[in-house]
Amino acid sequence: MRQFGDDGDDGRRLAALVRTGLDAVADPMFDRLAGLVRTVLDVPVALVSLVDADRQFFPGAYGLGDPWARERQTPLSHSFCRHVVDTAQPLIVVDARTDPRVRGNLAIEDLGVVGYAGMPVYDAEGRVLGSLCAIDHEPRHWTEQELSILADLAAACSDSLQLRIASYHADQRVRTAAEGADRAQLMIERSRLLLRASAALGAATSSDEVVDTVRDLVIGNLDPAYVGVSWVEADGHMQLASGRLLPPDLADRWATYGAEIRTPSGLAARTGRTVVLPDLAAVAEHTPDAFGTFQRMGWQAAVSVPLPGVHGPIGSLTFCWKQRYAPEEAEHAVLTALAGLVAQALLRASAYDDRRTAAETMQKALLSPLPEVDNARMVARYAPAHRGDLVGGDWYDAVRIDDDRLAVLIGDVAGHGVTAAATMGLYRSMLRALLVDRYDYPSVLLDRFERAARLLGVGGIATVMVAYLTAEPTGGHTMTWANAGHLPPTIVLPDGSISQLPNGGPLLGGLRGVVRRTHTRLLPAGTRLVLYTDGLVETRTRPIDEGVDDLHAVLTGMPGAALDDLADAMMEIIAAGDREDDASLLLIETS
């Protein structure tokens, strides 16, 4: 392995590090980038790690424990990332404890690094300054998709580092050159624009957010009247991603169009070259199909820049002005760099959308439709948390045992993300199998389930309540239930009185040898039973007791309301944008 400082190139590499202006201090943009890696790859720790002569430091970090979170640096004895710098290649480690390249590294013991994936980040000359890395505390078999996403994010990180170095050089030129001060100042402003763009676009998770971010950034700088983003579809057609910024009829007109239609966006995407149309005469000559739109919108000029992709342009970024406009050479460079950042952001947003769609589809598949029964009515709701974990471990279920007996369940597996959802799916399926196998007291059923989960190696802390509703010949139901640490359900009797069932016993997956009790209660016809998870009523700043009081207020304020209306009102106890945890709700009305 090459040792640091052995040659002049390493001196230039260290000089480039200095010119980034970064140190062992949190940088908001790089912290956001590390947070994005942690969310998208579902890892406990993500770092932007820069390596100098005797240490590595972390301007971007998410998930580090103390004291590392405070110090934001380690000696090279704890650095996996120095291997990335030495080899200028990604370092992918499944289990560091057995990998001969790193098994003696002190980070394994001190920082809990076991699974590791690090991608190099470069300066403009191709020198590796450090790495963008994802870290797991357990062995991790990294998928090709995960490594591809990490490589894309590392490219964005490299762009940001290069822009910081470019900004440093621009500042140096301003300080050392008396003449050309105005032009140098413009270059600084453009460099800062790109730095802001790199940070802001790194946080965008949809094409709409990308468009809005670019528009907000260029107002006051390039100051166009319109910012447009278009995709190239697989069949060569152009698809407009920014149609909501146009009048509805124009948005429909340009939603999708073929390669034969001549527009600034289409011309840039087809040729792979920047299209500059400084006035209406140029628009009419080179892109006549767009001329009518320019006249109607009062646009006089346009510049369209191809969005670079691995196999050619993936689309184009277009700016339109209401006055003649011809960019200077420096502005050409800014627009080209901005298009590169936009392309990376769109690709990341597309991957994020695919992941989110797959995760949401999996979650919905695990929440099966409620059965139809003659002696009870039921409605259910589920809402994900307002965060990047996409799915979680909440679930509800109802199983028709026979004509007179219905089993209902509500549960919550600890944690978030795909892992919690997968555990939830296993728990739900196992409980369903035990329910239909034979009738047991609910407490016995939970004991059987916990033993089966332990024997099958299915781990995970969870709360769950299981109840049987048995229809009585004289009307109403007998409710028999056991609760393993879950929030106690609420009961609304026909006369409108509201009460909570007793608190639950020990949760699942915790202590062994616990004793759970089966409870019984008669529910008159017309009773409403409300089962829910804590995400419906609780946030970090909203105590659960306060949320339960609000739930009871909804029930009191809507006597006799339809179950669907009541469920919708309960789902609004916490606004969707403030919800920090998944929320499940199951309402049953006996008859």
What does each of the 591 residues of the chain score in pLDDT, given as a tens digit?
334 444 457 778 888 898 898 999 999 989 999 999 999 999 999 999 999 988 999 999 999 988 888 999 999 999 999 999 999 999 999 999 999 999 999 999 999 999 999 999 999 889 999 999 999 999 999 999 999 999 999 998 998 899 888 887 777 665 655 445 455 455 555 556 655 666 666 666 667 777 777 777 766 556 788 888 888 888 889 988 888 889 999 999 999 999 899 999 999 999 999 999 999 888 988 999 999 999 999 999 999 999 888 788 888 889 899 999 888 776 777 778 778 888 877 777 666 665 555 555 555 655 668 898 988 999 999 887 755 545 667 889 999 999 899 999 999 988 766 677 777 878 888 898 899 888 889 999 999 998 888 888 877 788 999 999 999 988 899 999 999 999 999 999 999 999 999 887 888 876 677 788 999 999 999 999 999 999 899 888 888 899 999 999 999 999 889 999 999 999 999 887 777 788 899 999 998
Are domains 8-169 and 367-590 of this chain identical in fold?
Answer: no
Residue 499 CA to residue 223 CA, distance in Å, equals: 61
Residue 508: C-alpha distances to residues 182, 356, 449, 512 (Å): 68, 29, 9, 9
Looking at residue 503, its pLDDT comes to 83
Residue 79: C-alpha distances to residues 58, 63, 113, 115, 342 (Å): 11, 17, 10, 14, 32
Position of tokens 């332990």?
A: 454
Q: Domain ranges in the chain?
A: 8-169, 204-358, 367-590
Position of tokens 């380690």?
A: 74
Looking at residue 301, its pLDDT comes to 93
Q: How far apart are the first and last CA of the chain?
A: 76
b/e burial code for range 257-291 (CB count within 10 A of at least 16 → b): beeebebbbbbbbbeeebbbbbebebbeebbeebb
Contact between 197 and 213 under an 8 Å Cβ cutoff? The reply is yes
CATH of region 367-590: 3.60.40.10
Which residues does residue 232 pair with via DSSP β-bridges, in sequence order?
A: 238
Classify residue 431 by burial, with Cβ atoms within 10 Å: 0-12, 13-18, 19+: buried
Q: Which amino acid is at 430?
A: M
DSSP symbols for 105-144: -THHHHT---EEEEEEEE-TTS-EEEEEEEEESS-----H
Contact between 330 and 190 under an 8 Å Cβ cutoff? The reply is yes
> May I ask the CATH class of domain 8-169?
alpha beta
Looking at residue 179, its pLDDT comes to 45
**pTM, entire model:** 0.49
- Strand bridging mode 583-590 / 55-62: unpaired
Residue 432 CA to residue 570 CA, distance in Å, equals: 27
- 204-358 belongs to CATH 3.40.50.300: no
Residue 401 CA to residue 405 CA, distance in Å, equals: 5
Residue 82: C-alpha distances to residues 57, 88, 154, 209 (Å): 11, 10, 16, 35
